[in-house]
Homo-oligomer: A and B are copies of this chain.
Amino acid sequence: MAHPGSIRVLLVDDHSVVRMGLAAVLSLDEHIVIVGEAEDGAQALEKFRTEKPDVVLMDVRMPGMGGLEALRALRAVTPEARVLMLTTSELDEDIQRAIEAGAAGYLQKSVTRDELVRAIRCVHAGGRYMPEALTRRLEQLAKRRHLSHREIEVLDGMRRGLSNRDIALALSISEHTVKAHVKAVLQKLESADRAEAVARGFEQGLLRVDE
């Protein structure tokens, strides 16, 4: 190692431009050494085994094995791995899942060089790093009433244009019960009708575009 206290970093992002950018930004700090790059989750696991980095900088969205899966897989094998998640999409409850999955921090790609370096140092030192804006979002997410498993299934039925009766058939329950669930969904999502409920579902990440 070039410096005694150097921090060995592994970059994981499917966009080469972003990797180059991170490398360019981080190479300005003499304590940080890029020991490897990976384009997807599988490569990340591979590189982690061979390079044993101190900190992993990982994109959330990647083709194939996504960042969250990779994070979980990594933590399952090596719980002491320090992983800083990076993202472009700010408004997501991926954040929550990332934290639950054991991320040591969560950053947006719009971070300044300074904040990025601070975050890496913080994480390397064993701490957690979370930008203020995101902690605020987290609180919002915690506040929001969350739907039960059944209610989400019903919401998904609505999304697919099914009538209450058809949802009932699909779930093998009575139409009355479906209506009860629909009512609960509408209340919890503060929606006037199923159309708005579906919209809220998308907005809050309960429903996803990629099917």
Q: Which residues of A contact B (CB under 8 A)?
A: 14-25, 88, 91, 109-113, 116, 158-163, 191-199, 202-203, 207, 209-211
Contacts and interface: CB of A to CB of B under 8 A. Distances in A.
A18 B16 contact: no
Nearest to A195: B194
B25 A199 contact: no
Nearest to A59: B88
Given A15-B110, A198-B198, A199-B202, 4 more contacts: A15-B109, A17-B116, A160-B199, A195-B197
B88 A193 contact: no
Nearest to A112: B16
Contact of A17 (B16, B22, B158, B196): B22
A63 to B, nearest CB: 9
B196 A160 contact: yes
A156 to B, nearest CB: 9
Contacts of A203: 209, 211
B18 A191 contact: no
Contact of A88 (B15, B19, B24, B111): B15
A16 B209 contact: no
Contacts of A210: 91
A196 B194 CA distance: 9
Contacts of A158: 195-196
A162 B15 contact: no
Contact of A113 (B16, B109, B112, B209): B16
A42 to B, nearest CB: 17
20 contacts: A15-B88, A15-B109, A16-B113, A17-B21, A17-B109, A18-B109, A20-B20, A20-B22, A91-B210, A158-B196, A160-B196, A160-B199, A161-B193, A161-B196, A161-B197, A193-B195, A195-B197, A198-B198, A199-B202, A203-B211
A21 B26 CA distance: 11
